[in-house]
Structure 1
């Protein structure tokens, strides 16, 4: 007697495997040599047993039938694989045959017909009939059991059909690990594919690198016993990008075990855009710290409060909510009912904007730019006011600095014009007299030459001051420090001045010579300016005194003059501070201060009194350090 064909049954439902096995063995046509509940196990049994035929379910939790089918045929090429499915889907049958299946049998087929359908693939083709006598060898009393088993299969299929056909949105049925076995036309249109093209496709391919969300949702259904799992993912097609929401629900057997997964798919792009817009607005309002953005009720009481409002005004939300916004205004404006006026203007015009002083919680003031907008609901009812405030104190200070800089530039031009006028007039007049006076006396000629020389020196000082100020602005007084002797530095400064003013009386006193590290050119420039200032505006003799201090050196430049005019003392070291027509550009002392500060030191003015001469004191550290350290 020839050997009967061997069969391996693969289905994740043990109950169904029992039913199918009993029918196949009862037919007397097959030997069932193995069972498996997963595609991976099917591949191992195919390799081990090389069965004549394998009945392979489509939906299994770890590896479904469509995934396992090529692997089974790879390890056992002679095995005939019949896909056993609960789906009536032409596309699924086509896909199964493309992967190598010899047939696709729906689970809705009467169970007593199953052996005959399988025999066609192992007994000689579609016209083959199973051996006689008596057709299939069905045990007595089997009809009642067959009817009961068939009812279970029909119930299994009907549950799926009801859910699938009642859905009015994009939907699909998947295996337990996400392969699509059936898709409706709505889903196919949503993803710009044909329904048949989706069969056998892992839905994760459509999620654009969000397959982990699909896997997590499937695990919650198959392992966590959840009845609904939802996730969202982007979808990119030729028409652009959209966002889909996928709701997964398990289809279970009578024992509660999941058989398949039903997916409902919705295009929620408009909802996502609205949600994103609302979220961005919420983040803008609540997180922005440069603007106070809050709501007032119809009476002007604070109804909402963002981080920017707390940052600018100093109130925490629980301290200000419910209070009238009058508290932000200076007392004089509150008394004049200016806050109420602003709300009336916003109500009348729709919006009102102004700039002015406002008061923080700690009582300090800041310059605010304010916009108040009346807010209405869809029915046109007035609901309150939206108020946006920005702290413009720094901007106002910068604008004030800009205004002062413009004034200083105009002042510099005026001073420069004044400084140029006198020496150029002297030079021009002297040259004219020299051209016209052939018989000038020697002393008169000498006076003209002295006047020209003095005017030229005055022009040179002007050029030097302007150049130094420009360089200081350009390179922020870059230093090239060296080790210096205090005594040698002061001697060199005195000699330079004597070369320009040979008759000037300049005394030098160094109590103790010490070394310091400083930029010799910059320090020399500062000393030259102080000595020149003493000779021009003070009285000789001029004294140059140096002494060590606890952390550096101190240099005093003093003269016998009456000192600086009281009106200039407070701004003596500012740029362009000068004493009128006799005062030059007013840049010299400013340069001295910047040079001292760039080394980490300072310069100060010491007025005369109590036997003390007019003096300027320069303090320098032994080593340069950052200003203010």
Structure 2
């Protein structure tokens, strides 16, 4: 019986090479086509009507989720297996609802992947959700039933992966970002159930990790309502939510929780990320501080900061105290007998706001507000004002008691607190996005390296010389990708800490740029990268950081623009201008303002590349910018004197 046919669709050529080769070596499935995006998938399905299709979830242009229904329309008998670097059960459920036969993580050992595909491609495997276990919704490749990747008790990689020491060190260092974070963190399903939890959160909740896995986070809250509402808002496409709640078994303990969604290529949530802090002591300290401030303010303001005086029924000043003189600048001789309208800005006088205040106080007995008031010298202050109607024994209105307090400083503090809270919210959302994107960026190259190394080790003699060479080149490119990601993360961290540790020296610019361009040509042999450097240019720069800046701009042009990519350098007064230009349509206007911000652009990668370029340029005494007129990114660095 001929082997079932299969089509492999993935935007990473190394992944396609690895899967195709392993399938050929197995002899159990026949690869009849391969593609790089969802458009290819539909055409291949229509042309070959294969028994199986291995379809990547995240691809440029049209991703696997968008392509899946179209593939099934083109070839209804094809069994589609979704292939993804995300480890979220909700995504697997979603793909099955769209018609997928199975969902496989890229961390699955390659030989197990072949077994899985063969099982699904057989008539008996058509009705099995998980061909390896027979359990619907269970995923392979070292993933435990809690939804996390790794052994349940240690969180280590699956032993079948047998990572080499260097790769294992990279994987461990990034896992520690989650596991050793000084804030409680967990990943949750779309239903809000915890599937992975770090040590800090386990300690905060006073439980063990196994007991928390599968627990609905809302059940841990004293009032589940706000948590459920926040989760529903995230499912509906809302932004990250920050809320505070007590614990179900300890209502007095206060938790500050930030919930955010990790989205797929079509902005649909894949899973949720939780960050939690125990703020019980902080809230108690704030309450105590607030009480202390209240007592102190009452003591001080009663003596110095209250203006207490009387008005007659028509609003003329009838009495004046020392506090009023200090606050408003008028002496008793200056103000007694004059209308209290003198204390209001001209616009409020024109609106007859002072008379409006007296009318309310006369009708309701009291009026209170905060607003701007004017001193004798014309300066303004933010005032808290209380006006109380005063009646005699017969109930006849004899005037008004007016108490004014300067609240300018309190208003300023409230504004500062609001700004600080907004910065905290933005920071929490950035960190959540950063961790989610970093985890996704690492999973695919690490899986490719591990599986490629394993294939070479087990099947070295079975591979052709061409295949061995292709594997070696693929491992080199993947290692370069990991190195660039690690360099970006470390540089961004040091830039934030102002500890870049530059060692600038005179550098012949042509030689430095030639090395960067040569490396880019090796990594992208199909792309044209040209170099044009003015003779004799020498810059004062750290050689490693200079290469990192230019490499980031060239990689950005190759990823988001179109070849050819031109790298040029010209003298610019006391500076040297290094420009990188591609042949694409340029940066959209709505993106330009945040190009160099941290996480300003995250369409593939961590969103740190341009942020790092600007930070390094400024650390050298230069600058980085985007020139709209010629659609180029420009770095200006100090020129070596005499050069």
Under a length normalisation based on structure 1, what TM-score does the superposition of the two structures give? 0.40
Under a length normalisation based on structure 2, what TM-score does the superposition of the two structures give? 0.39
